[in-house]
């Protein structure tokens, strides 16, 4: 699941770089100019991430790109990042160690404190055996 998302990301990057490399023709030159204005090439706190060190990336079926950082979770809609600092469990404000899309349009989020599942607009902490609830 994560490897599928990663493979799609790598393929998309390969296509984008190939198109940019073929910029010798007028048509490709125009496309390159257009892509420079429409494609985000760098994601940092300047673009809205909670922290610039990205630890995990996943794309859900609804088209959102989820980004885990050392300081929390963000969701990219193609234009803007939304940070989940005050929504969901407090563990979403800490280091995100993994993101995996599931088959039911949900997202599994591994944090330094445990596991969280996101589905239907709701975050749910998955209790570990021995956790105090």
Same domain, 28 and 87: no
Same domain, 23 and 48: no
Number of separate domains in the chain: 2
Q: What is the CATH number of the domain that holds 47?
A: 2.40.10.500
What pLDDT score was predicted for residue 28?
44
DSSP state of 128: P
Same domain, 56 and 30: no
Mean pLDDT by 10 residues, the chain (133 residues): 53 45 44 55 78 88 89 88 82 90 89 90 82 54
Same domain, 7 and 54: no
Same domain, 23 and 88: no
Write the DSSP string, 11-54: HHHHHHHHHHHTTTSHHHHHHHHHHHHH-----SGGGT-SSS-E
Same domain, 132 and 71: yes
Domain of residue 16 covers 1-39
Same domain, 56 and 89: yes
| pTM of the predicted model as reported, rounded to 2 decimal places | 0.64
């Amino acid at each position: 699941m994560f490897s599928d998302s990663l493979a799609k990301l790598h393929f998309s990057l390969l296509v984008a770089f190939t198109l940019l490399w073929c910029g010798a023709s007028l048509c490709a030159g125009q496309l390159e100019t257009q892509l420079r204005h429409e494609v985000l090439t760098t994601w940092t706190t300047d673009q809205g991430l909670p922290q610039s060190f990205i630890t995990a990336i996943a794309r859900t079926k609804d088209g959102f790109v989820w980004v885990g950082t050392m300081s929390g979770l963000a969701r990219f809609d193609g234009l803007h990042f939304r940070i989940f600092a005050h929504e969901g469990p407090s563990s979403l404000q800490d280091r995100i160690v993994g993101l995996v899309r599931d088959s039911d349009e949900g997202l599994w989020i591994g944090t330094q404190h445990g596991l969280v599942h996101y589905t239907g607009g709701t975050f749910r902490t998955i209790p570990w055996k021995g956790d105090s609830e």
